[in-house]
Amino acid sequence: MKGKPNTLLSVTGLRKRFGGREVVRGVSLDILEGEIVAVIGPNGAGKSTTLDLALGLKRPDEGTVAYWRDDYRTHVGVQLQSTPFFPGLGAADNLKLFAAFYRKPLTREQGERLLRLCGLQDVADTEASRLSGGQQKRLAIAVALVHEPRLAFLDEPTAALDPKARRDIHSLIRTLNESGVSVVFTSHDMEEVHRLAHRIVFIEAGRVAAEGTPEELCARFGTDDIEDVYMMLAQSDAGSEGGRSA
Ligand SMILES: Nc1ncnc2c1ncn2[C@@H]1O[C@H](COP(=O)(O)OP(=O)(O)OP(=O)(O)O)[C@@H](O)[C@H]1O
């Protein structure tokens, strides 16, 4: 039998202030091996800032971030809300160049497989800036996966995608997870969250207001719909957009 899953990431007591306003106010959370974790919450609640702090893209004012290994950067993939691609290069060449930053240069076969996995095989040679919004989103996800990470952070991976592309990304996330990749994603689509996440972390006004499996959260709030849970949590603590202090 499998033992207890490893903790891949542990963040404790994270705080971040911009100007005079504290937008992350003591966030602690763990990401375990094998999990798909959805980080949800209202606009401006502090989700992206929390991810940026966890990824070392922003420095916390307080708190600690610990990964399961010191060289975690080569084992963590990141799709941010906007990815700067290399101008003048096609999708496939962008992947090749991003891969060159790691110690795992892409073979042609690997590149083709990744493009297929992300539904980009027909636009492999199209210059990245000429791809549609949804295709650019998929290329950003492909970039996040180019070095075969063990943990992938996907910030709104399906925002602005059409329903079919959205479903394709759901399958991609499941396939990745089945191949051993742990995934942390943010989303405002509660159906998607319910469908994909093993665990949900609800951030409200810079704090973790609730967390649990979809089933646990639904049972706690007496519903079978995560959107109802979301509404109840969002109404129970007003003022998220302002990140007001309690
Ligand atoms: N560099 C910055 N300077 C000043 N304020 C910032 C900065 N980055 C984020 N903020 C503020 O911090 C708050 C939290 O932003 P964040 O992007 O983390 O929210 P979010 O939960 O990811 O929102 P969304 O769902 O809209 O993406 C917002 O009020 C935002 O304006």
CATH number at residue 204: 3.40.50.300
Distance from the alpha carbon of residue 27 to the mean position of ligand 1, in angstroms: 15
Contact status, residue 230 vs residue 40, Cβ threshold 8 Å: yes
Q: C-alpha distances in angstroms, 98 versus 106, 124, 146, 243?
A: 9, 15, 7, 35
Specify if 113 maps to a domain.
Answer: no
Specify if 154 maps to a domain.
Answer: yes
Distance from the alpha carbon of residue 220 to the mean position of ligand 1, in angstroms: 29
Specify if 217 maps to a domain.
Answer: yes
Specify if 40 maps to a domain.
Answer: yes
Give yes or no for residue 152 CB within 6 A of ligand 1. Answer: no
207-235 pLDDT tens trace: 999 999 999 999 999 999 999 999 999 87
Domain extent, residue 46, equals 7-83+148-236
Give yes or no for residue 243 CB within 6 A of ligand 1. Answer: yes
Specify if 215 maps to a domain.
Answer: yes
67-107 pLDDT tens trace: 999 999 899 999 988 888 998 999 999 999 999 888 778 89
pLDDT value at residue 237? 56
Contact status, residue 227 vs residue 190, Cβ threshold 8 Å: yes
Q: Quote the CA–CA distance of 117 and 241 in Å, as a whole number.
A: 36
Q: What percent of the chain has pLDDT over 70?
A: 95
User: In terms of C-beta density within 10 A (0-12 exposed, 13-18 middle, 19 or more buried), how is residue 107 classed?
Assistant: exposed
Specify if 93 maps to a domain.
Answer: no
DSSP letter assigned to residue 156:
S
Report how many domains make up the chain. Answer: 1
Specify if 105 maps to a domain.
Answer: no
Specify if 118 maps to a domain.
Answer: no
Give yes or no for residue 26 CB within 6 A of ligand 1. Answer: no
Contact status, residue 76 vs residue 67, Cβ threshold 8 Å: yes
pTM score, two decimals? 0.90
